[in-house]
Structure 1
Amino acid sequence: MQADAWLLELDETPDAGRAAEFAVKFAAGLDTGPLDARERERAAAFVRPVDRALYTAAHLALRTVLGGLLGERPGDLVFTREPCPCCGAPHGRPALAARGTAATAPPPLHFSLSHTRGRVLIATAPVPVGADVELRPGPEAVRDLLSVLHPGERAEVEAVAHPVRRAAAFGRIWARKEAYLKGLGTGLGRATTLDDLSGEPAGWTVDDLDAGPDHHAAVALRSARPATRPPVVHRLSAEALTARTDDPAPSH
């Protein structure tokens, strides 16, 4: 069992202003035709241009990857939400909507999407999967957030004395936690203190990914080791998102 991951690097600079400028310019060159009405509305609702640009790039990347894997045009893909494991309402894991005679069949592919300043991460697998990419927090933020961790996670972070390395330890744990909770379908609707992601929850594999010096990333797969292999990471190019959208997209 194995997940695949796609990483889109929007910019390498740690400077927030330059990264925002790059993201806006990058998104301005994209063909937003494949996005559906809901995605367009969501993008338009962002107040800051950089947030709108990141959302647009991320959702076009998701459609590009899934379209390539399924041999469909990115704009033809239809998304839905699975029931939430916490309450049963339709706001659980995002999923591909089945169509036609397969309307009641399981989804052909599971996926997860995450984005933060400078990075977009997508994971796909034949079983439920979660992906998360995070910008490394500052030492001050870590002090404020330690209380939301499981005691085992908190102990691992607090064992690191140097403030910068402690922030890196927290960022790694948090990316693993969000990937796992997204794989479950609960997101942050499940208490963040319940699960210890300094290791691996029963029945799940969680792998750290290299997303650059200023980011942390992880993929969680509903499959236990040792049968599960680490994710294969593909670099998603900007050219793939600016290609023609009337044909199935390349998978990587």
Structure 2
Amino acid sequence: MTADVLVRSVPESGSGTLPADGRLDIWMLRRPRLDEAAELLETGELSDAERERAASFVRPSDGITYASAHIGLRRLLGAYLGTAPQDVPFVREPCPGCAEPHGRPAVAHPDPPLHFSLAHSHGMAAVAVSSAVAGIDVERLPRDETVDVCTPALHPGEREELENLDVEGRRAAFGRIWTRKEAYLKALGTGLSRGPEKDYLGADPRRRPAGWTLLDLHAGPRHNAAVAIRGGVPEEVTVRWLPAEALYVGGIVDIGAGDRTTQGT
């Protein structure tokens, strides 16, 4: 099933431009070349905790992906809010399970609301920005062993769908299911602390959680991506690629620039 969505022009950035009701902005970015990243990435805009986290990865490529994703997030949110990237007021919402302040990441912006979600995996990152609660996920295409190990943990309806497919089709369908599931659980603010067997995120949109819209996103030949947004199908969905230069020292993020496409399932 394909959702009909309309892409319209987006205002130029300046003093800040928050997404209008009914609009969902998706930004995709790829990790910069490793031989350029250490010198060119503007890591000075990151918090001390973010820089420590980036340096803690065993594989340098994973650290560069993490740093790139968080620089991109800060610059994007800074453009929407009209503030410097290092001054974006991040907070944590209450946890749905215990009400402690370690739930979904958010920005302290009273009215109108601005919601975001960030995901990154193996050289790819994605950011969702909307006035409605949203969650986004991007995952590298799964291996057969991952499918075998994780399938028993899925919702019974999802397992039934996979059983009827050949090996290649099963791998592809599992990747889409798992990415939708991660996006939805991020939007809820629970992550995988909520068992993956509880919610159906399979191929039939009519069986998915009520009150939510799930959209599959094109993320190139090596990744799956999906976004979950509270409410019905957004009136406007804009998908753009953020160039690597926007993450570099002196780089600028223009939330009104770039190629615009529309996607959905």
- TM-score, normalised on structure 1? 0.85
Which structure 1 residue ranges, 4+ long, deviate > 4 Å from structure 2?
none
Tell me, yes or no, if the aligned pair for 2:31 and 2:64 is still in contact at 8 Å: no
Find the counterpart in structure 2 of residue 19 from structure 1.
none
In the alignment, what sits opposite 1:101?
none
1:88 to 99, 102, 107: 99
- C-alpha separation in 2, matches of 1:55 and 1:107: 29
Q: What is the alpha-carbon distance in structure 2 between the residues aligned to residue 175 and residue 243 of structure 1?
A: 32
Q: Which one of 35, 43, 50 corresponds to residue 46 of structure 2?
A: 35
Conservation of the 8 A alpha-carbon contact between 2:41 and 2:247:
yes
Letter of the aligned partner of 1:37 in structure 2? D
Q: Deviations over 1:3-50 (max 9, x none)?
A: 110000237xxxxxxxxxx44643542011111122122222223212
Letter aligned with residue 191 of structure 1: G
The partner residue of 2:209 within 188, 201, 211 is: 201
RMSD: 1.9
Task: Report the AA paired with residue 176 of structure 1.
Answer: R
- Structure 1 residue 141, shift from structure 2 partner: 1.4
1:72 maps to: 83
List aligned pairs for 1:205-224, cutoff 5 A: 205-224=213-232
Matched, 1:120 2:125: yes
Unaligned runs of at least 5 residues, structure 1: 12-21, 99-104
Aligned residue number for residue 240 of structure 1: 246
How do 1:166-205 and structure 2 match up within 5 A? 166-198=170-202, 199=205, 200-205=208-213
Aligned equivalents of 2:215 and 2:236: distance in 1?
A: 7
Shift of 1:191: 0.8
Partner residue of 1:137 out of 134, 139, 142: 142
Report the residue type matching 1:131 in the other structure. Answer: I
CA distance in 1, matches of 2:225, 2:53: 25
Which residue pairs with 2:69 in the alignment?
58
Seq. identity, %: 49
Q: Specify the code of the residue in structure 2 equivalent to 1:232.
A: T
The secondary structure found in structure 2 opposite 1:155 is helix
Kindly indicate whether residue 55 of structure 2 is the aligned counterpart of residue 44 of structure 1. yes
What is the SS of the residue equivalent to 1:124? strand
* CA gap 1:121/1:3 in 2 versus in 1, 3 angstroms: same
> Offset at 1:177?
0.4
**Match for residue 162 of structure 2?**
157
Q: Is the 8 A contact 1:4 1:125 kept in 2?
A: yes
Structure 2: runs of 5 or more not aligned = 1-21, 258-265
Instruction: Name the aligned partner's letter for residue 142 of structure 2.
Output: P
Tell me if the contact between 1:176 and 1:206 (Cα under 8 Å) persists in the aligned partners: yes
1:102 corresponding residue in structure 2: none
Q: Which residue of 1 aligns with 2:25?
A: 4
| Distance in structure 2 (CA, Å) of the matches to 1:46 and 1:93 | 23
AA aligned opposite 1:237? P
Q: Could you tell me how far apart the structure 2 residues matched to 1:44 and 1:213 are?
A: 28
Matched, 1:231 2:237: yes
Q: Deviations over 1:170-193 (max 9, x none)?
A: 000011000000011111111110
Instruction: Sort the Cα spacing of 1:153 and 1:168 in 2 relative to 1 into closer, same or farther, 3 A.
Output: same
SS at match of 1:33: helix
